[in-house]
Each structure stands twice: as C-alpha cells, then as structure tokens.
Chain A
Amino acid sequence: MATPLLSIRDLCVSYGNITAVRGISIDVEEGQIVTLIGANGAGKSTTLRAISGLVKQTTGSIKLRDTELTALAPHSIVEAGIAHVPEGRGIFANLTVHENLMLATYCRKDRDKIPEDEERVFSMFPRLKERLWQLGGTLSGGEQQMLAVARALMMRGVIMLLDEPSMGLSPILVQEIFKTIREINQDGTTVLLVEQNANMALKTASYGYVLQTGEIALHGLSEELADDPAVRAAYLGG
C-alpha cells in the first residue's frame, strides 16, 4: 500500500485536565473522502484543530506525506497544504466577499494562477460572484458556508478539512453542500470530513471512522459502516 497523504498516529489532545482525544490513528489516502463521525464531544473537531495546529497535541504524530505537522505553527501548516474550513465557518464579517477570497491567497507564491482559481470558484458558486462586494457578515448561512468552502478552495491545499459543513443549513442546502464536496473531490482534492449528519457523511465518503469519547470505536469502508448494526443504532436512527 502506498503511503497515505495524511497519517495520524496515536494522537492525544487535552484541554487542561480533560483529555479530548485519546490515542487515535487515522489514515487518509490521496483522492479519498474520509469522514469522522461521532456524537457531540467525541473529539472530532479537536482532531481537525490538532491537524491545523490550533491546539497542540500532548503526544502523537501527524504527517502530511513526509512532513511532520505537529512541530509547525498554524500558518506554516496552511502553507504545507492543509485547507481547514473551521466549525462556525470563520468568515471575516466586516470584509467583503472579495476580500475574504483574496485573503485565502495570502501565502500563495503562484499569484498568476489566482484569476483562474477565482473563475473556477465562481463557476461552482455563482451566488458568490453576485455577492462579491457585499460584506461577509451580510450573507445568509448557506452563502457563508459556500464562501468558507470557496475560500478553502482558493488556498489550493492538497487536503481540505471540513468541520460540520451541514451545521444550521436547510435540508436542500445540505444536499447541495454535499454535492459540492463530491465535486471538489472529483477535481482532485482529498477531503477529511467531520460530520454529525452521519447518514449524509457515510453516503459521501468512501471510508469512515467512528469516534467515541476520544477513541476510535470502529472504522471501515463507509458502506460497511452504514450496514453495521451498532452504527445504525447509535448514529443512523435504527
């Protein structure tokens, strides 16, 4: 088996006395969509935050190909190719949509390719083009989520981390956002998806990990997980 694009080994993260993640190991192969599902407080978001360096791990390693990420500062991790769409979207509310998108290109060296990526993003999200000069904070929830994803695309990372993209969106918008995630993946971006909506997540991803109180309870191909009686009972509503 080829070396995975992203490999997490024995990762532990604590907030003070509380251990949120207890020694998990995750592999994400290039070109895959991998999902982390689990209940509230299972440590899904913490795992993503540890990958981006927003929280420091107690022990364990996180490797992007051959680069050890745990030693790097958050901005260097982004430069290494991690595009993280945080929980709650992280839109710059008082900046225009245009400024939000341009900020994503802050560290990019290939500035001549930016217009091309902008076109790609606009063809994917025509709404954002209409709203280009509006302040980020004035967008609707769905549009803000699109902006967050678009911003991550503009960063041209090798892997995109998505933290609960379906949160607070109407069922139709949820469908749409998952369709977008598949499109992004088909264009060649690897995706690590954290979701509460286990049903949609397992339909979209090819491989899944089930997190329970900071540990990996189960992992396997998504179809297998979706058929697993325990998973069905706990996360898919029987």
Chain B
Amino acid sequence: MGPKSRMTLVLVLLGFVLCLFLERSGLLSAYVLQISMYVGINIILTLSLNLVNGYMGEFSVGHAGFMAIGAYVSSIITVRVFHNQMGPLVFPLAVIVAGIVTAATSFVVAFPSFRTRGDYLAIVTLAFNMIVKSVLENIDALGGPRGFMGMGRLTNLANVYAWCLVTIFVVRNLVYSNFGRAVLSIREDEVASNLVSVNTRQMKIMVFLIAAFFAGIAGALFAHVMQFINPRSFAIQKSTDILVMVYLGGIGSIFGSVLGATVCTVLLELLRPLGVWRWVVGPIMLVVLMICRPTGIMGLKELIGLIPREERVLVKKEETDVVTASN
C-alpha cells in the first residue's frame, strides 16, 4: 500500500470516528443529523442513477420504485422476521438483502426493455414506478396506503457514511475499468460499441442491476431513518427529485452527483422558511443554473482526487495540451 492510499484509509477512518462522535456528543441537533442522513441517502441514489443515465446514456426515470422495494424488504426483515430484536446486528444484513432483492426485481424490468433500443426504457421504468406504488397500496398485510411502521431507528450517520463510501468506491472503480470504458462507449455510439465487441445488451442489464442494488440500499437506509414508510413517499415525484440531482450535479461525474445531491437536499431545507414559495424559488434557481451551466455543475468532468492516479496524468496532459494549443 502506497503512502497516498494509507492516507486515504486514515481519512476514511477519521470520517467514521467523526460521524460517531457527532452523533453521540449531541453537538448537532436531531434535525441537522436527520438532514445529513438524507444527504447521504440522496448521494447513494444520485450516484446509482448517474451510472445508468450519465455514464451509460440510457434514460431511467423510475428510481424511486427500486428505492421502495429496498425500503419495504428491509422493513419486513427487521420488523416482521426479527421483531426488532438484535437490531444493530440484523440491520446491515437486512440492508444487503434489500439491495439484492431490488437488483433481482430490476432484472425483470431490464431483461425485456433492453431488447430494443431507444426510449423504451423511460416508458418501462415510469410504468414500473407506478406499478410498484399501486401494488404496495393494495397489499393490506403491508399496511396498504396507510403505510408500514414499527421500524427502529437503526440507520445512523456512520451507517449512511459507510454506504456512501461503498457506493463511491464501487462506481469509481467501475467507470475507470475496461468494463467502464465499454459502458461509456454505449453512451457515445451504440453501433460502434457493438463493432468493438461490446455485448451491449448484457452490459446494459448489468449496469442497471448494479444501479438498482444501490437504490435498494438507499431505500433500506431511508426506511430506518423515517421509521415509517408509505407508498406515496416513492411516487414519481421522488424519482423526479433524483433525476434533478443527477442533472444538476452533472452527468458522468461522481463528484457531480455528490454535489448535486448535497446542494439539492440542503437548499430545499434552507428554503423551508419560505413556505410554499420554496417550490417556486427552488425550480427558478434550477432554471438559472441550467441556463448558465447546461451540463450541470460538473458536466462530464471529474474531481481530480477521484480519478485513478495513472489516468490523472492524462488530465494534466490534456490541460497542458490545450494551453500550448491556445498559445
């Protein structure tokens, strides 16, 4: 392990300790703590959707549907199966199972919709989101439209922090690999991608499954912050929010997603004193941003610290090339 990686490890551990400290010490109010956890959950959602919409160039609009599955599955595990016993021990397991079940469900959507090219995915995912919501509303055993409750507050800041890091780590290693280049090539030109022997259909299904896995994880974390979920929390509105975060932060950028999720979540909270007017001010700010920076805050650019070292040289080289060219 090089000195730089050791440094990263130390920073990661420090962040972890900081999370535990902030939570235990009572320095932050319960409200701020809650918002911080939402930020984390939204980062996971945004990054996973960015994988499909930003890196792969498909258009999925039903991310909240996957989130719902994760939320309900994890809640069933902690409340119905384990009756809130051994919470801290069971919870990580419940989160992972929720992710896996969500990914498995997404396969049902991905398998038929990637047979065709073009905009079908948007329609299919939109329908999927609605189906999930109505199915949940009609299962009485899960509370139907009244919702599902009884979860302990098992999500804490350290938990969210850890899953955020896992998501960032996985997405980063994915997009800077041979596999990732193939994903990018699908966005750029699908025919040419075929002609360099990328199995585009298989690739799309795999990326979609990974994205759904993390959406499920985010749903599970969300359910155990709120301690109450109902089908309405996972309507199209929620999917739209995630889409906004992706495009605000910038497609094809990890740091962009982190920024987009943070800015959106915090901004909406800061605007709360405006009452109903925040739904006017917020979108106007978004429109202004889209006029000034149509590709989002980061827009296909990446924070240099997130780029693997061997590729980082390339970015610097590119910049000096541009400079010499302009001279």
Contacts and interface: CB of A to CB of B under 8 A. Distances in A.
A91 to B, nearest CB: 7
Contact of A86 (B178, B192, B318): B192
A142 interface: no
B140 interface: no
A92 interface: yes
Contact of A106 (B182, B187, B314): B182
Interface stretch (A23-31, A73-81, A230-238): A73-81
B318 A75 contact: no
A107 B197 contact: yes
B185 A103 contact: yes
Chain B's interface size range is 20 to 34
Contact of A134 (B178, B182, B196, B321): B321
Is chain B's interface secondary structure helix, strand, loop, or mixed overall? helix
Contacts of B182: 103, 106
B194 interface: yes
Contact of B197 (A54, A79, A94): A79
A76 B195 CA distance: 10
Interface residues of A, number: 29
A98 B163 CA distance: 33
A134 B194 CA distance: 23
Contacts of B178: 102, 106
A15 interface: no
Interface in B171-195: 178, 181-182, 184-185, 187-189, 191-195
A74 B181 contact: no
A132 to B, nearest CB: 8
Given A94-B300, A95-B181, A99-B181, A106 B191 contact: no
A134 B321 CA distance: 8
Contacts of A93: 188-189
B199 A54 contact: no
Contact of A103 (B181, B191, B300, B321): B181
A104 B199 contact: no
Contact of B192 (A79, A92, A96, A99): A92
B226 interface: no
A176 B169 CA distance: 46
B199 A75 contact: yes
Nearest to B252: A94
Contacts of B185: 92, 95, 103
Given A98-B314, A133-B314, A134-B321, A73 B192 contact: no
B134 interface: no
Nearest to A79: B197
Nearest to A104: B196
Contact of A84 (B181, B195, B321): B195
B199 to A, nearest CB: 4
A21 B39 CA distance: 57
Interface of B: 178, 181-182, 184-185, 187-189, 191-200, 300, 314, 317-318, 321
Given A90-B195, A91-B189, 7 more contacts: A54-B191, A74-B194, A99-B184, A102-B178, A103-B185, A104-B196, A106-B178
